[in-house]
């Protein structure tokens, strides 16, 4: 293992649980329902792919004003409540290899999340977004871009991901995917879903991370 690639939302920071609250509240305001299973299927996808999924669900799409409300609420919650996931600071402080963040969110949102959580300094110059590639997760493009920029072969990279799409992308890139379920937004069965997608291990807290790759 020569480099680590972190997903952002739900892995570095607790934004997924905030996004779930925003989706639930804004959809309810417009007389619509977004179920936990619907939200779970959206985790890890870029916005365009989320919209494709929602178009296939009756009542899944918000009116245009609802989209603006949703974005505003998510960003407001990030500014007010986002935090680094428990144990992350200690884990990252002990790393002896290069690392970066590769997320389906756009760069402004990634930066807002990391700045508010007070961990942006670790990732300056090493922030990669799905907006930088033509295909988002579960395609491997974003992770391959991150590996190239770090100057590390894909097979020498470890990826921490909370989503099936993310683990699928890591495996497709020829990397080692490790599932992370400590973000507070996932059901217990997500660990098995991540393993089924190809995760070599699944951890629920960052203190478990060194044991999965011997660092």
> Would the pLDDT of 65 be above 50?
yes
* The predicted structure's pLDDT at residue 11: 96
Contacts of 13 (CB under 8 A, 6+ apart): 82, 83, 84, 85, 113, 114, 116, 117, 119
46: pLDDT confidence band, cut at 50, 70 and 90?
low
Secondary structure element (H or E) that encloses residue 170, with its range: helix 164-172
Split at pLDDT 50, 70, 90, the class of 49 is low
pLDDT band at 172 (very low <50, low <70, confident <90, very high): very high
> Residue 118 pLDDT more than 70?
yes
User: CATH classification of 3-13+82-213, choosing from 2.160.20.10, 3.40.50.2300, 3.40.50.1000, 3.40.50.2000?
Assistant: 3.40.50.1000
- Radius of gyration of the chain measured on its C-alpha atoms: 16
- Residue 61: pLDDT band with limits 50, 70, 90: low
Residue 40 has pLDDT above 80, yes or no: no
């Amino acid at each position: 293992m020569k480099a680590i690639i972190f997903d952002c939302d739900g892995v570095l920071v607790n934004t997924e649980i905030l996004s779930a609250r925003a989706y639930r509240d804004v959809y309810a305001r417009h007389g619509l329902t977004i179920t936990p299973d619907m939200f779970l299927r959206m985790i890890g996808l870029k916005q365009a792919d989320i919209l494709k999924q929602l178009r296939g669900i009756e009542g899944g799409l918000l009116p245009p004003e609802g989209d603006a409300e949703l974005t505003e609420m998510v960003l407001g919650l990030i500014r007010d409540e986002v935090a680094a996931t428990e144990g992350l600071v200690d884990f990252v402080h002990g790393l002896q290899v290069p690392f970066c963040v590769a997320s389906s969110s756009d760069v402004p949102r990634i930066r807002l999340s990391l700045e508010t959580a007070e961990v942006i300094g670790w990732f300056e110059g090493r922030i990669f977004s799905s907006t930088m590639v033509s295909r988002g997760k579960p395609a491997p493009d974003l992770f391959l871009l991150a590996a190239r920029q770090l100057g590390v072969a894909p097979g020498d990279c470890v990826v921490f991901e909370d989503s099936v799409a993310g683990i699928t992308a890591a495996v497709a890139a020829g990397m080692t995917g490790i599932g992370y379920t400590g973000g507070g937004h996932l059901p217990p069965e997500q660990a098995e879903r991540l393993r089924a997608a190809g995760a070599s291990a699944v951890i629920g807290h960052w203190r478990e991370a060194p044991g999965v790759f011997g660092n």
